[in-house]
Each structure stands twice: as structure tokens, then as C-alpha cells.
């Protein structure tokens, strides 16, 4: 007896994402280049900046 149609898993091909990115490339304007996307994914604060921010907070008298 064969398995039910719902019991068969489809092989992940990434077709939905491929079509999404194709549409995104065609309709997107500025910022659609992969290098621009990587800039958006970068972490915001650097450890040195965070340390300076905490130092200035303590120097101004805000301890909490």
C-alpha cells in the first residue's frame, strides 16, 4: 500500500525564495545590491563605541 500524498515530503529546492529574489531584483531600487544588503546586516555598535558610551554615562553621573 502506498503512502498518502500528505505523507510525502517535497524536496526543498528553494523555489519560492528564488522567485522572490528574482522579483526583488527587478523591482527594487537603491539598496538592492548584495553589498548594500550586507551593510544592513552588520551589527550596529562596535565594542569600542559601547565602551566609550558607558564611560561617558558614568562620567555624567548616571550610574543606572
Per-residue pLDDT of the chain (64 residues; tens, 9 = 90+): 687 878 877 766 778 878 887 887 777 776 667 787 787 777 776 778 888 888 999 999 877 6
Which letter, b or e, does each residue of 6-22 get, where b requires 16 or more Cβ atoms within 10 Å of its Cβ? eeeeeeeeeeeeeeeee
**pLDDT the model gives residue 48:** 82
14 dihedral zone (left: phi>0; alpha: psi -120 to 50; beta): left
**pLDDT the model gives residue 60:** 92
**pLDDT the model gives residue 41:** 78
**pLDDT the model gives residue 56:** 92
Question: Cβ distance 53 to 62 under 8 Å?
Answer: no
Cα separation, 45 vs 53, whole angstroms? 10
Cα separation, 62 vs 53, whole angstroms? 12
Amino acid at each position: 500500500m502506498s503512502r498518502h500524498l500528505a505523507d510525502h515530503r517535497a524536496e526543498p529546492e528553494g523555489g519560492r525564495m528564488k522567485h522572490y529574489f528574482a522579483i526583488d531584483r527587478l523591482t527594487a531600487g537603491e539598496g538592492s545590491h548584495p553589498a548594500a544588503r550586507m551593510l544592513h546586516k552588520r551589527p550596529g555598535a562596535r565594542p569600542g563605541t559601547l565602551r566609550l558610551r558607558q564611560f561617558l554615562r558614568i562620567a555624567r553621573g548616571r550610574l543606572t
